[in-house]
Amino acid sequence: MKMVLCFYMFALCVAAQAAAPSGPALKKEPSANKGKTGKYKCSTSRAGYDYWVYVPPSYSEDNPAGLHLFFHGQGSQKSAEWFEHWFPFCNDHNLIAINMQYQDGDNTKDTPGKVAAAREAMAQTFADYKIVAGRGTVASFSGGGVPHGLYFSESSKARGADWPFNHLALYSSNYRHPVPSGACSMSWFITTGAAEWDMAQLGQTNTARTVELLAAATKGGDADVFFKVIKGKGHSIDPAEVAESVKGFRRSDLAMAPFIYEPDHSEAPLASIARQANALQLKPALDACESVLKGKAGDAVKKKAEKIKERILDRAKRIVVVMKELSEQDPALCHFYSMKFAPQVSSLPEAKELQGLVQAARGKPAFVRSLGFQQPFASAMKSMIATGGKLNATHAPLLEDIKKTCGENSQYGRMASDYLLLEPSAK
C-alpha cells in the first residue's frame, strides 16, 4: 500500500541541546498491554509525550522480536498511528514498532525530555514483550532527526537495552549531530529527495553525515552506507526508500545483531550458550548445545538447547545466502561483510562455502578495481550534489566508471545511477 506522508516543513535552526547523561536502561513492570497484538496507543509519564505500538503477526512467546523505533517529523504527530510504511520491517523481519507521538509537534522543544520519553516507551515495550535487545532499526523523518541525533550521540557506544539497534535510517531527516567516534557497528540508510534538497538544508545535512560515514569506512569503519537521492521526490517517505533500507537491515541483522532472547535461558547449562550465541560465537555455542543434548539435562532444558541449535544452523544458512548475493553483485559489501561473517561461521560447514564464494568474487578482474573506488567516491561526495538537488557534472565520469566497474546492482552502482539522473540533461 503506497502512502505518501505530507508534513509541515520548517527551517530548522537548532541550538546545541543540553543532553542528560545516558544512564542505565529504564526498568518497567509489565502493563495491561502485555502480549497485546495489533496496534494501540500508550502514554509516558511526561504529559503530551505519547507513543503507538504495533505488534506483527509473526511475534509470539516462542518467537521473540526485534524493535523498530521511529521519530515523526515537525507537526506530524497525527501520523504516529500509521505503521504501513514499516510493514516490510515488522512483518517480514519480526520487529515490534514504536512510533513516538509528541503532541506539541515540536522536536526542537525539550528535546532531552522527548528522548527520555522514547527511552520510557522502549522500556515499557521491553517489559510487555520478549524483545532481543540489540536487534532493530531506529529511524526518523524531517524534524524527528533532532531527538534521533541526540539519542544516538548519548547512547550508541554499546548495543543493548539502551541502544537496541543494528540499523539506522534517516528519511529526509534533519539529523544534525555528527556521527560520534566509537559508536557501535551499524548499517546506515540516508535519503533525500531532489525536490526537497534545499529545505532546511536537508541535502547539505545528509551529505555531511554521509561524508563522515564514508570517510570512516575508508579507515576500516562500517561500509554499509547508502545515501539515496531520488529525482523529483519531495518531502515524504516513499516505499522505495523503505525497501532499500530493509536490505541494509537484513545484512547487518546477520552480521552484527544478537538473536537469542537470553531471559528465556537462565538455566545454568543454557545461560552461557545464549551469551555465546549472541556474541556471534556460533560454533562454540553449537558445540555446547550438542553437549546438553547428549547429557543428562531434563527434557525442558534439552528442548531449549535444540531450539538454540536450530536458530544457529538457520543463521549460518542465511549468512551464506546473503554472501552469495554480495559475491555476485557487490564487491565492496562482499569484502566488508566477509570480514564480519567469517568469524561467525568459522569451523562450521558453511565456512568452506563462504570462503569459496569470497575467493570466486576476489578472482574477478573488477573486484580489486571496485574496492579502489571507495576513497575517490568518499572524497567526491563532499561536492557531489549542488543546490537544487542537481548533480555536479564534474563527477559524472566517476559515477559512470563506478556503474561499469562495480555493477549496476551494487550499492555504489545504485547510488551512481541515482545521482546521474540528477544531471539537468537527464531524462
User: What confidence score (pLDDT) does residue 425 get?
Assistant: 73
- Tell me whether residue 359 is exposed, middle or buried, using C-beta atoms within 10 angstroms of its C-beta: 0 to 12, 13 to 18, 19 or more: exposed
Question: Do 150 and 85 form a contact (C-beta atoms < 8 A)?
Answer: no
User: What confidence score (pLDDT) does residue 158 get?
Assistant: 92
CA distance 165 to 418: 28
- Name every residue whose Cβ is closer than 8 Å to that of residue 227 and which is 6 or more positions away in sequence: 190, 191, 192, 206, 207, 210, 381, 415
The residues that bridge with 171 in the sheet, in sequence order, are 141, 191
| Buried b or exposed e, range 338-358, using 16+ CB within 10 angstroms | bebbeebbeebebbebbeebb
CA distance 311 to 259: 8
- Tell me whether residue 55 is exposed, middle or buried, using C-beta atoms within 10 angstroms of its C-beta: 0 to 12, 13 to 18, 19 or more: buried
347: its cell numbers: 569451523
Regions in the chain scoring below 70 on pLDDT: 1-25, 426-427
How far is residue 30 from each of residues 53, 54, 127, 130, 141, measured CA to CA in Å?
Answer: 15, 17, 5, 11, 30
CA distance 22 to 265: 28
Q: Which residue matches cell numbers 575517490?
A: 376
CA distance 366 to 358: 14
Q: Which residue matches cell numbers 545515501?
A: 227
From the list 293, 340, 341, the residue with the least C-alpha distance to 317 is 341
Beta strands per DSSP E along 351-422: 385-386, 390-391
User: What confidence score (pLDDT) does residue 26 get?
Assistant: 77
Query: SS3 breakdown of the chain: % helix, strand, coil, rounded to 5?
Result: 50, 15, 35
User: What confidence score (pLDDT) does residue 10 get?
Assistant: 34
Question: Do 234 and 320 form a contact (C-beta atoms < 8 A)?
Answer: no
From the list 146, 217, 218, the residue with the least C-alpha distance to 188 is 217
User: What confidence score (pLDDT) does residue 108 get?
Assistant: 97
- pTM value is 0.93
